[in-house]
Amino acid sequence: MNQTVYRKIPAIGNLLKDEEISRRFNRYPRKMVLEAMREVADRWRRRIRSGDALKADFSREAFLIEVDEDLEQKGKRSLKRVINATGVILNTNLGRAPLAPEAIAALSELSSGYSNLEIQLDTGQRGERYSHVDELLRKLTGAESTLVVNNNAAAVLLILDTFAKDKEVIVSRGELIEIGGSFRLPEVLKKSGAKLVEVGTTNRTYLSDYEDAINENTALLLKSHTSNYKIIGFTHRPTLDEFVELGKRHNVITVEDLGSGLFVDLTRFGLPYEPTVGDAVKSGLDLITFSGDKLLGGPQCGVILGKEDLIKKMKKNPLLRALRVCKLTLGALEAILRIYYYEEDPVQKIPHLKMITEPLSEIKRKANRLTKKIIPLFTDDLKIEIIEGKSEIGGGSYPGVEMPTYLVSLRSTNRSPMEIAKSLRESDPPVITRIADNRVLFDLRTIGEEEIPDLIKAIKQALS
Ligand SMILES: *Cc1c(COP(=O)(O)O)cnc(C)c1O
């Protein structure tokens, strides 16, 4: 019995010779078609072997339909755009900040040809890639000197490697941070060959704790932004001014890992006060680091600001070569920095800042638009409604801060929210949602007006 069933699997060689089939799949490269056919044939063989093939349709057309479905998946890149319905604006898993159109234009121009990455156009002499963003960074922050590397983790590592190898770095026990994706400050320190000296307690660290730990082997006093947690209650930390003054008094370099790197004050939008990068520079810290793709809204990179002699030393460190950024990163970063420097209201020009500051009435309007289009799907076992909820900034900025928002909620009595969320993730483009209280939730704060038609299509498909 089995043997005759196996014979029903079409011979791939014959299929490939068939002109009609070639035409049917001519959108795809031949190699992809061949791979898909082989995979479908393997699947059919496994189905026959496992014995659940008796009722299956083994026609040639059924085979080709499966090939077609496989090709539709194969025809798409693995890394692709998704719709973020989670309401978390800076989500590392979803690629952090979306880029402004100006940055996208820079990427497109720079990637399609050559560029003056390391050549000075006036003299024809060799230039420095960092020069393309240096002046803007200095003008925007007041820093003496600047450097850009692959990400903030690389920025911290380069500082430690340059100044603290085989030396001591003093950190408060309240700031021994772990950021998602395995950035753990004690481990980064260990990797760099620096020795961690912990001072104070989790909730209280005094200036004298730092001071008592300083000795001739101390390289750095390191502060870290507690990006994803908050210590509240019976707490103490020295002010930034005290911290900086202590470093100066003992001739020890002071460093702050700012994490997110805020460039505009957002208190006028009702958010709590956070020091901006400019504030940190003004405090007199010797070195400051932050991510380019968190609150700044640029491409993935790590920015180091600081004293000229220190930055010069880092530029001579051979490790920099392994951490250096490419022309695309620099081009996109320059475009974003130009918006901050030249535009009247950067908040309106930079996508994630626009999301953070979007008026509730606007979010509600989008929720209404979405709901109106999916309400016809309403059945006895499916409930669609608009509810109030909270969005988060994410990306290690504003920990604990939630912003009011409107959510579209889907609840089905015959399909679990997990099942619906999975179908949505498999749509094109994929939709990433939140699940709570047995419902699938769509936060309209992170969904753009122009994404709504795709979202409607995905919801219809997921519920059909
Ligand atoms: C996010 C963050 C990092 C890691 O930054 P990457 O750009 O992801 O490497 C390090 N320190 C702090 C305080 C952060 O918030």
Instruction: Tally DSSP H helices, then E strands, for the chain.
Output: 19, 16
pLDDT for the residue 54: 66
DSSP 324: B
pLDDT for the residue 2: 60
In b/e form, how buried is each residue of 154-172, taking b as 16+ CB within 10 angstroms? bbbbbbbbbbbeebbbbbb
Low-confidence ranges of the chain (pLDDT < 50): none
pLDDT for the residue 336: 98
Residue nearest atom 1 of ligand 1, based on CA coordinates:
259
pTM of the model: 0.93
From the CA of 400, how far away is ligand 1's center (Å)? Answer: 17
Quote the CA–CA distance of 449 and 203 in Å, as a whole number: 44
From the CA of 169, how far away is ligand 1's center (Å)? Answer: 18
Residue nearest atom 5 of ligand 1, based on CA coordinates:
152
Quote the CA–CA distance of 153 and 174 in Å, as a whole number: 19
Which residues is 169 bridged to in the sheet? Answer: 196, 220
Cβ of residue 153 lying under 6 Å from some atom of ligand 1: yes
Q: Are 80 and 429 in contact (CB under 8 A)?
A: yes
Cβ of residue 257 lying under 6 Å from some atom of ligand 1: yes
Cβ of residue 224 lying under 6 Å from some atom of ligand 1: yes
Nearest-atom index, ligand 1, CA of 396: 15
- The residues, ordered by sequence, that sit 6+ positions from 144 with a Cβ below 8 Å of its Cβ are 138, 306, 307, 308, 311
From the CA of 154, how far away is ligand 1's center (Å)? Answer: 9
pLDDT for the residue 56: 77
From the CA of 184, how far away is ligand 1's center (Å)? Answer: 10
Residue nearest atom 15 of ligand 1, based on CA coordinates:
259
Cβ of residue 396 lying under 6 Å from some atom of ligand 1: yes
Cβ of residue 304 lying under 6 Å from some atom of ligand 1: no
Q: Ligand 1 pocket test: which of 178, 183, 184, 222 has the largest number of ligand atoms within 8 Å of its C-beta?
A: 183
Cβ of residue 179 lying under 6 Å from some atom of ligand 1: yes
The two tokens of residue 56 are 């299956």
State the alpha helices, DSSP H only, in 7-55.
12-17, 19-24, 30-49
pLDDT for the residue 1: 52
DSSP string, 43-98: HHHHHHHTTTTTTS---HHHHHHHHHHHHHHHTS-SS---EE-S-EEE-GGGTSSP
From the CA of 345, how far away is ligand 1's center (Å)? Answer: 27
**Looking at beta carbons, which pairs linking 102-105 to residues 24 or more positions away fall under 8 Å?**
102/335, 102/336, 102/338, 102/339, 102/349, 103/298, 103/299, 103/331, 103/332, 103/333, 103/335, 103/336, 104/332, 105/335
From the CA of 446, how far away is ligand 1's center (Å)? Answer: 22
In b/e form, how buried is each residue of 125-150, taking b as 16+ CB within 10 angstroms? eebebbebbbebbeebbebebbbbbb
Nearest-atom index, ligand 1, CA of 395: 1
Cβ of residue 152 lying under 6 Å from some atom of ligand 1: yes
From the CA of 215, how far away is ligand 1's center (Å)? Answer: 29
From the CA of 24, how far away is ligand 1's center (Å)? Answer: 49
Cβ of residue 291 lying under 6 Å from some atom of ligand 1: yes
Quote the CA–CA distance of 136 and 370 in Å, as a whole number: 41
From the CA of 82, how far away is ligand 1's center (Å)? Answer: 23
Kindly report, residue by residue over 261-286, the tens digit of the pLDDT.
899 999 999 899 888 999 999 999 99
Place of tokens 């993935």: 300
Quote the CA–CA distance of 135 and 146 in Å, as a whole number: 9
From the CA of 179, how far away is ligand 1's center (Å)? Answer: 6
Sequence letter at residue 431: V
DSSP 200: S
